[in-house]
A and B are shown apart, each in its own frame.
Chain A
């Protein structure tokens, strides 16, 4: 692995030695009148390429009192470090020292959230021991999802794909608040998800299967829509009992409709909310508790294609 050019992750930051990070942060805070209450440490770990995208989202998180620590993987035991007002970037760190860096840089007495953007899964055990919450965000989550049950014994665990499903799940659940839909739920035994991301769709299917206690092998179909949103549409049931959620033309809203006994029960359009990286990780920062529904969804999604 090549070490990236230093300064890519936090170009506005100033270079400092690792042992001078705390002092540099104090000095940076002293130069501004904006003093924020500390609320958490957010550690973002991943390859330099994947961290650049995350770093761009961090500007939007700078107003919420979070110390952000960006650590990109490399082979350097003494990597270059840059510091700005609330952020630290460590570029090209040896994976074996990842835990040490997190242990040194996290704010004590406040929650630490690790946003793991992929890499060697061998680092996760150590990170889970240091983190109050581990948010997975690998491009291909197959291997890491296989470890979710074990990691969940050490820390609260989630996945950014799961965060993207928050509103979709709520919309589906709202349909079940309708007495006629709830009464027909046991007859809705098939699920079709359309979208660009097979893994997100599979997670949604796992959630439905675990919550509705579907036996393994229940009808689930994924239809790929390359270039679209991770999820474009969801259809639960078919024919006369059917719930249909789909992205509206605006792409920022979801249209929901329910059909029970062949009759339209409800139809409405609601906002999908901000699906940007900053908003998604911001949502994860507000959650402290273990997410059992996620763990069950991952378990139930095993074997789904």
Chain B
């Protein structure tokens, strides 16, 4: 028999062939909070292959048993799995651990021996480590021959976590190092936003329906607002965040991905390359954020001061643990972008993201133009609200449409109403965590929901000039906003210049 004859007509989605997942950074936060619970859920859902193993790798050598204990603790803490669980036990038995210095060739030789011993088919390397360690690991994987499989069944792939570089040149350098040892089709740059149902649904919404695409252009759309708001501060990530800031942490990856999904042209097929080509086109059409000369600014940055969030008094960013008291790192950024394309000429895209906002929410709001003639202005003293299409990315995934309706009664009165579609309400059942979707896609070799090298570099080419300009500015230029507010007045001014305002969320 050539292929698996029992796969035809199975209701459960396809599972990968025999796979070993190698997690670099196996003792880290990402592994404990996200990766191990995701693997358990995949196993429960019968989405993992019959022959599947995990090798955890970290600097300190803790041995298989301690790694298995850590797995169980992670399930108890982050997946609510306590006590005996046969699925967890079965998966735990296939967890192994190898420790050592990432720059030490001996570690990778031990890893190679372990992989040969397991004989697990394909190998997926997951870099859940600080970016400073990427180069060592990638170079060692290449030097020891682990980056190349010997046959189609023994594929080798690598997942690289964000941040992928800190600016254009470092991203290019990282891509160069990766491509020295891995072909692009082996590389999966993860952005967990792309694993969310609503983000994937944006493709279905736009290209699986006939009613939206005809109005998805400059003739009917007035502007687009993309918001990613967090209530939390930097928590335990101060060391990273101090060097990153909101622009690197959120805009370069998550918000640019959302922008591309909204703005992209229809792909010719739902294939990884076609989708990623069109997303790249959308980003390539973006005009520079920093213009030469005295043009009006397209970017506003700010940092939160003390305030009150969700019923608690919170300190200023500069008062957070691990943050410099004179830090100029931005915790908020707002951008106005223009895409120089036939579809979007003249339609501004406003992006904003911040920490310590009043509400945790991520949404894309597409505001349509008002009707060309206001025939109801004699009966409605205020102008009718424009139609609005809102894609809720988190926390309550779904899509809403706002339109005008007649208020019941003998008089002609108009009022806006919302029509809501919510994933939880419409289809029931749990929505898979983004990491489950993305881990599985990487094992199956489907890169559709992962960032390609040219997209990452194009995104950095838009962002890097902003950082360069900020470096030349005085510290006193940094605006502040009170924690628990929707950003600084300068952000309101950015959008007010175009006679528009940020949505109140």
Contact = CB atoms under 8 A, between A and B. Distances in A.
Interface of A: 34-37, 39, 61, 63-65, 166-167, 169-179, 182-183, 185-186, 211-213, 248, 250, 252-253, 256, 258, 265-266, 268-271, 273, 282-283, 286-287, 291-294
Interface in B79-97: 86-87, 89-90, 94
B17 A177 contact: yes
B51 A178 contact: yes
Interface stretch (B157-165, B341-349, B372-380, B418-426): B418-426
Contact of B428 (A61, A172, A212, A248): A61
B429 interface: yes
A266 B50 contact: yes
B90 A172 contact: no
28 contacts: A36-B425, A36-B426, A37-B422, A37-B426, A63-B424, A64-B427, A64-B429, A173-B10, A174-B15, A176-B4, A176-B5, A176-B7, A185-B5, A186-B1, A211-B5, A211-B8, A213-B5, A250-B86, A253-B87, A266-B50, A270-B43, A270-B87, A271-B44, A271-B87, A273-B44, A286-B427, A293-B8, A293-B9
B426 A174 contact: no
B11 A166 contact: yes
A270 B44 CA distance: 6
B113 interface: no
B427 A177 contact: no
The 9 closest A-B pairs by CB, nearest first: A293-B9, A64-B428, A269-B90, A173-B6, A174-B50, A37-B426, A170-B12, A176-B4, A271-B44
Contacts of A286: 427
Contacts of A182: 1, 4
Contacts of A248: 86
Contacts of B94: 268
Nearest to A279: B429
B153 interface: yes
Contacts of A253: 86-87
B465 interface: no
Contacts of A266: 50-51
B4 A173 contact: yes
A182 B4 CA distance: 7
Contacts of A258: 50
A185 B2 CA distance: 11
Given A65-B426, A167-B12, 12 more contacts: A61-B428, A64-B428, A167-B46, A170-B11, A173-B4, A177-B4, A178-B51, A182-B1, A211-B8, A212-B5, A270-B90, A271-B43
Interface in B374-425: 420-422, 424-425
Contacts of A64: 425-429
Nearest to B429: A282
Nearest to A270: B46
Contacts of A293: 8-10
B50 A268 contact: yes
A173 B12 CA distance: 10
B49 interface: yes
Interface of B is mostly: loop
Interface string B13-25: 0010110000000
A269 B49 CA distance: 12
Contacts of A170: 10-12, 15, 46
A187 B5 CA distance: 14
Contacts of B44: 270-271, 273
Nearest to A284: B11
Band of interface residues on B: 35 or more
Contacts of B5: 176, 185, 211-213
Most chain A beta-carbon contacts within 10 A, residue among B1, B17, B44, B50: B50
A36 B427 CA distance: 10
Contacts of B51: 177-178, 265-266
A166 to B, nearest CB: 5
Most chain B beta-carbon contacts within 10 A, residue among A170, A185, A248, A266: A170
Contacts of A36: 425-426
Contacts of B4: 173, 176-177, 182
A172 B9 CA distance: 13
Nearest to B425: A36
Contacts of B8: 211, 293
Contact of B1 (A39, A185, A287, A292): A185
Contacts of B87: 253, 269-271
B49 to A, nearest CB: 6
A247 B270 CA distance: 39
Contacts of A256: 50
A287 B9 CA distance: 12
B11 A174 contact: no
Nearest to B11: A166
A175 B1 CA distance: 14
Contacts of B89: 269
A237 to B, nearest CB: 14
A292 B10 CA distance: 10
B425 A63 contact: yes
Nearest to A35: B420
A64 B431 CA distance: 13
Contacts of A212: 5-6
Contacts of A174: 15, 46, 49-50
A10 to B, nearest CB: 20
Most chain B beta-carbon contacts within 10 A, residue among A37, A186, A211, A286: A37
Interface in B50-92: 50-51, 86-87, 89-90
A175 B420 contact: no
A152 to B, nearest CB: 14
B40 to A, nearest CB: 10
A283 B429 CA distance: 10
Nearest to B7: A173
Nearest to A271: B44
Contacts of B90: 268-270
A258 B51 CA distance: 11
Contacts of A265: 51
Contacts of A173: 4, 6-7, 10
B165 to A, nearest CB: 37
Contacts of B429: 64, 282
A271 to B, nearest CB: 5
A6 B28 CA distance: 61
A65 B425 contact: yes
Contact of B427 (A39, A291, A292): A39
